[in-house]
Structure 1
């Protein structure tokens, strides 16, 4: 621990002793901001810092270069080195001197990913995007299931008691939906929202993102990162993020640091919003909420569900020939794109002729109208629906 941090910790205990003596126990939350590394220069940091100072919600602590305006704040001086700032930020978080921090770049461990927050343009609703940076798992479907837990953690820490959740219509969406339904059926408290498109469902389209049809949208981190950039910078041409609260806090099993990420293209409004997001998370006890949610999910079989998602598929031992060809006009939707051809073969093996196709809402299996009920039953038994 550096001498600077040791002195700060000493001051914390002295202030606590004074509070006990005077009967004033409530201390202001402190949120850090690393100020170096933005492509937009230090001026955006200055604007965000003074916007926060004016609101007086919490105490802002700056970490970074010696700049004249930093004298207006509690300031920990570093050279213009992101590694040094990150190490100091960790010390301050772990010592309890600050309860959260906003930074431009941070290497989260595998298993941790960030939950961004935006305001949707159609109705001005808050939308949590789970997730936007980091790698929750090397297996895509498992990552998205864990991302769902992370999104719920962020929303609950910010005061939403029962967040609604939806899954973005990307590769893996239907598999993830089945896994989350299994988790729900095993007793995990999970409230699905619904697409506002005519056919509804738990899988969301692009329109639902614009509307904010749910509180938390689940996707992979790469897709989430693109969404954050589009939501935050679509009005500026792309090189200055004006909207939203940044890419959010890193969340994962056994992880409790409140570190929120912004981009090197984040403008002053986004930086200020990210600081307020970090404050909400600190006030809502992010680490405790995360621990509680993972415990509840584990009790509902999360680890077993994840192990099934990462298990190697069984090798195909025999070639399956299709039955006699029939006219196929009835559609069965809701099958994962990567499982579509396997689902067709399941029906062939049950002596039901089927073909794969692509409908307006995604992959479909086509069967003859007379075979529709039986085909649906077979696909449900094989866990494709």
Structure 2
């Protein structure tokens, strides 16, 4: 069993422990000397590894997605923890517990499945409810739907992330449906639960998260639409109009052509689903970006390339600050009788943190995730997941 996790690594620690190699990059320094950059991960997060010496020798010992035992010293560079690897060796996967290495949702999978079943039971439209019940009756589908991540890098990048995201969007549908009369709530809930269903085949997650060949060639939007069509075809009397409206939700939920959407939203329900999906995915992505830099002393995150900005990390509510200031003010009578100190000139503005002037490294895994799903995976065969080979996009 793994004893030291990424979240436990502190600056100046000497680290000796196993990791999963999420990425392996060979490069050349300005002086012409080769070096190697590694993305080392476990279920609590990711740490960058750097190999400066014996690069060719170490590189020949392992490949991306292998497990290695690394020895090195930890240090903080540009606000991020880094491991300078002095020695490493490849580990036999037979000695590995998968649950120690893949990040998992904070939500209990059994509780999420129960919430899913409750959502389905509360769909009033009998045809849409029958469709969702046909998905729930498919044991292989349900196992993968509960287990899959929601993405490779952007949001909900952990086991159980797909179902967590789908339920969150369905909850937002219930919030919005009460505000706008006339919406087809049952259609929207069904669309929320199924909008990313194609990701069970788009993504593989036997080791690190990546795209399958099918995912690269077709994509989850088309895959999901085909899955829905296959289920509908087996349901006698399913209304054609309802099928078309539901498939439009899936085909348009990315909103714009440039975001990979085959169609743009052309119903009110499709417009709503597009915005709610975007809302939940962005909130999770921003929070993950903030949480992954616990060693950065700055009040701001590093630069996020895809969002094209830095994020402020101080979460103290403004009214709380004002309340604290108000409590510390003297009463009116005290102010009249108590001599007030002379006003001091404002201090010079603090120098901008160096981390804000540099572009970020590639995002690490979401740190410090819950272990419930990981514990369930402990000791399971690595053949549990798809192992399709796919190259990095």
TM-score by length of 2: 0.22
Higher strand share: 1
- Higher relative contact order (Cα pairs below 8 Å, separated by 6+ residues): 2
TM-score by length of 1: 0.23
